[in-house]
Chains A and B, each alone.
Chain A
Amino acid sequence: MTGYIIRRLLWGVLLLFLVIAVTFLIFYLLPSVNPAILRAGRNGSPKVIAEISKDLGLNHPIYVQFWNYIKEIIFHGNFGYSYYYNDPVGGLIANRLPATLSLTVGAAALWVLIGIPVGIISAIKRRTFFDRAAMGAALVFVSAPVFWLGLIALYLFANDIGQFKIFPGSGSYVGLTVNPLKWFESLLLPWMVLSATSTAIYARLVRGSLLQVMGEDYIRTARAKGLPERTVILKHGMRSAMGPLVTVLGLDIASLLGGAILTEGVFDIPGIGRLNIDAIGHGDVTIVQGTVLVASIFIIIANIIVDIAYAFLDPRVRYE
């Protein structure tokens, strides 16, 4: 297992290198704002732009620029400097990470705590009213775009613009360390909106997996042995059904940690997603590269964790 993990980590490093290279090339090859123009301002003279290009090393060949970028990341932990904010990218990302982390962890907890039980009950009580209602609602939430759902949620339930003034609205986010209670309150609505689609997906996924597993021979054997139905479902049924769920959960959480762009935008939560979308709007290449890199790191780590978790969930899986 240790050898496997080391091999995966090394592959992860190689993958990160490729991600950096591709991101770098995308901004180099496709039409984007010249960083020197961005820093010089919209009306910088050609002379000023040329001087800034020289200062930023933009007059070097692409492979030199790429090597300088990689070198800074590896040896100095420096993700570059934002051309728009005039601030180190690493600091900007670190500043935004807590908000994204808060949003993601809370939403993931919600969709796991709601989605899995609903899926289990739907599977057990197949074709009952509960099953049909739950799966019908799931279909609605799967189909609803998160930005639309967010706006509707605000219009209905925000305490400033809502018809039913229940939850703090857009722009109410405060940091956990500033005021834990307000932090919790401000994230309730975003958590619900962000988790709605995933809750629906997880409920359907669990239902489908469990229905499939519950028809297996070993389940019949477990029942024949006289095990209580609760044990059959939770210990034998769910353990097998958890495999695909863990895969999806790991990747979902990891990709959200790279920024829940739409939810952060609608609820005005200053997280990585909003930093990224603002940077794209400004053509601030270094921030986009930095956020993509962070998202990639999360996804690679999540993949490794998922693979390890498989070994514990399914005894048949052994890594050499």
Chain B
Amino acid sequence: MNTSIRRRAFAGVLALFAAAAALFAFASSNSTTLANGAGLKPAQTGAGETLLNGKRGGTLTVYDSEDFEHLDPGESYFALDYEVMYATQMPLFEYLPNNTTVAAPMLASGPAVVTNGGKTVTVHIKPDVHFSPPVNRAVTSADVAYAIDRGANPNVANPYFQPYFGDIVGAAKATGGPIAGIQTPNSTTIVFHLTQPTADLLIGALSLPISAPVPESYAAPLDKDKPTQYGTSSEVFTGPYMLQSTASGKFLGLGYQPGKSATLVRNPNWNPKTDPAPAYLNKININIGGAAQVIGLQVLKGSDSVQNDTPTNANVELAYTKYYKQLYAVPGAGDHYVSLDNAKGPFTNVNIRRAAYAALDRAALVKIAGGSIVGEVGTHFITPGSAGFAQSGGNAGPKYPWNEYPDGNLSVAEKYMKAAGYPSGKYTGNQVLTIVQADNGNSPEEGAVVKDAFTELGFKTKLVLVDQSVLYAKYCGVPAAQVSACPSVGWIRDFADPQTILYVPFYGPAITPTNNSNWGQVNEPAINAAMVKATFVVGAAARAAAWAKIDDMLVDQAVAIPWIFDDQPNIESGNVRGINDLWDVGEWDYTYTSLDNP
């Protein structure tokens, strides 16, 4: 389990229009300042949403500044992709929109059965789920096996295959062919044999899109292309909706036009008796592109529409003040933190890391991000709503002096600088700290706050602003780049297991020379050992406790500085009953969303 995973949430506003947003905000919103959040009533969280009793029919328009990355269930690993995946495909398990902790059987006919001391997992599937045209036939367990097998095919290159499926017997060396440890004794049963007792993690991962069935006869020829054309040009579906396609299943140019639009229509072979989702809407038109600040206004002032990616701060403010019922700020959308280079330079000293933690004005960073509506001050790494959050201190976080002052406390910081061997409380060495940050949106301001904190401790600093597209690929994700700090790295969970939050960003052996997601190169032997041990813990409560303990250790060692528990702001038109997936960054769930007047 040494492959890195990092799932991307919605991106911010296009940098190109950031300046315009400020000007436009002046014209389109009132002057209420929400940034400090004092005395404001909380935004709706989506937690009390009624999932059923919606009205059937109508067309929802979805505005989306960003395009999709992958529409293949074997490749998709991005919040926008997931919205389409969970509306069009039926994985073995799936979280209901209002449940953040337990995945319900979807294609599976019941819960997974664990035997052999956690080394064997058996899942039975529903017999009467059918593929969309042109395949049309009933789904079998072999289709699920192929879906997972192909994840290891380099032409598919599923990003989380090795971390979550790598313990299946034979998976470590799989390249797309049948994996020995996945067996299908009959058409409705699939059995996973594991090399280690990691059944809990595997079952959690069976809620990801990769477990949605893929018919080998249809997909195998497409999977020979580099990259696969399955999900790029053609695909078959099992969910209530499908991308509008030709008779041969080709959707490229019809149901999906890159950079322009995607159209979801009802899947004629979907059987409502096999799926708890009500699927109220007749059609979903996804409009790709456009300026985020314009889209937000179109949604708030218009009808039948939602904004898919993150609204601008100005539009969130407008929604809060004038369209309160059309705004949701969904918690559990992940967290952001300042990575500190634990491998080289001053931050190899734990007391200097603690000093930096204490000095940083985390509350200021939250204000820059948009204030209390878009998040709370981060105090540790397991996010709200995730197992282990409460055990590791809840909102207050672990009790350590450097974690006690959201606004920063220089005297506490200087105490740890003295402990690090600097009697004056200020750094007197000659190493320069390199801070690398994206040059778009709020990022430069966030970088400046971090720079200020380090400067207060006596460090000479160099703040380097780079294009978002190379931030990870060339700097924060490349250990050889020797970046001292990346102020806004972030993480979101893959499913309701705290291992999916902590393992990759902080497990030492998971460090890779490129595309590295352990940005601070955290490699503490005690933490590594605790993670290995926690991986094999069985049972949700015990796992939560074990990973909460690791969360505490991470804060104790100040391996990075958490500064925000993100909330995902979502906006909808007045006549939309939009349902947010609370388990996963609050994305819209098209299978439960409905219109008041279809």
A contact residues vs B (CB 8 Å cutoff): 31-34, 37, 39-49, 51-52, 55, 84-87, 92, 95-96, 145, 147-148, 151-152, 154-155, 160-161, 169-171, 261-262, 265-266, 268, 270, 274-275, 277-278, 280-283
Contacts and interface: CB of A to CB of B under 8 A. Distances in A.
A37 B298 contact: no
B454 interface: no
Interface string B275-317: 0000000000001011101110110011000000000000000
29 contacts: A32-B474, A33-B474, A34-B514, A37-B473, A41-B70, A42-B8, A43-B160, A43-B517, A46-B513, A46-B514, A47-B154, A52-B154, A84-B69, A151-B24, A151-B293, A155-B24, A160-B301, A161-B294, A161-B297, A169-B294, A170-B291, A171-B289, A265-B16, A266-B17, A270-B257, A270-B260, A278-B67, A278-B289, A283-B473
B75 interface: yes
A268 B63 CA distance: 11
B28 interface: yes
B438 to A, nearest CB: 11
Contacts of A33: 469-470, 473-474
- Ranked nearest first, the 9 interchain pairs of A and B with the lowest CB-CB distance are A268-B290, A43-B159, A161-B297, A283-B469, A85-B258, A31-B474, A270-B260, A170-B294, A86-B232
A154 B295 CA distance: 11
B27 interface: yes
Contact of B259 (A34, A40, A278): A278
Given A266-B291, A278-B67, A283-B473, A42 B159 contact: yes
A261 B5 CA distance: 34
Interface size class of B (residues with CB under 8 A): 35 or more
Contacts of A266: 17, 20, 291, 294
B301 A161 contact: yes
Given A41-B159, A155-B28, A275-B259, A265 B291 contact: yes
B23 interface: yes
**Which of B16, B28, B229 has the most chain A CB atoms inside 10 A of its CB?**
B16
B162 interface: yes
B21 to A, nearest CB: 9
Interface in B236-291: 252, 257-260, 287, 289-291
B6 interface: yes
Contact of B514 (A31, A37, A51): A37
A45 B258 contact: no
Contacts of A262: 16
B515 interface: yes
A97 to B, nearest CB: 13
Contact of A281 (B28, B157, B469): B469
A218 B438 CA distance: 60
A44 B67 CA distance: 20
Contacts of B70: 41
B43 to A, nearest CB: 22
A280 B15 CA distance: 12
Contact of A39 (B8, B77, B227): B227
A266 B517 CA distance: 34
B259 A85 contact: yes
Interface string B24-52: 10011000000000000000000000000
Contacts of B302: 160-161
A273 to B, nearest CB: 11
Given A86-B227, A270-B259, A169 B291 contact: no
Interface of B: 3-8, 14, 16-17, 20, 23-24, 27-28, 63, 67, 69-70, 75, 77, 154, 157, 159-160, 162, 226-227, 229, 232, 252, 257-260, 287, 289-291, 293-295, 297-298, 301-302, 466, 468-470, 472-474, 512-515, 517
B14 A46 contact: no
A42 B77 contact: yes
A230 to B, nearest CB: 44
Given A31-B470, A45-B162, A51-B154, 11 more contacts: A31-B466, A45-B157, A45-B515, A52-B226, A84-B67, A85-B259, A86-B229, A170-B290, A266-B17, A268-B294, A270-B259
B287 A268 contact: yes
Given A160-B301, A171-B290, A283 B77 contact: no
A35 B159 CA distance: 16
B63 to A, nearest CB: 7
Contacts of A31: 466, 470, 474
B473 A268 contact: no
A220 to B, nearest CB: 49
Nearest to B20: A147
Contacts of A160: 297-298, 301-302
B5 A43 contact: yes
Contacts of A145: 20
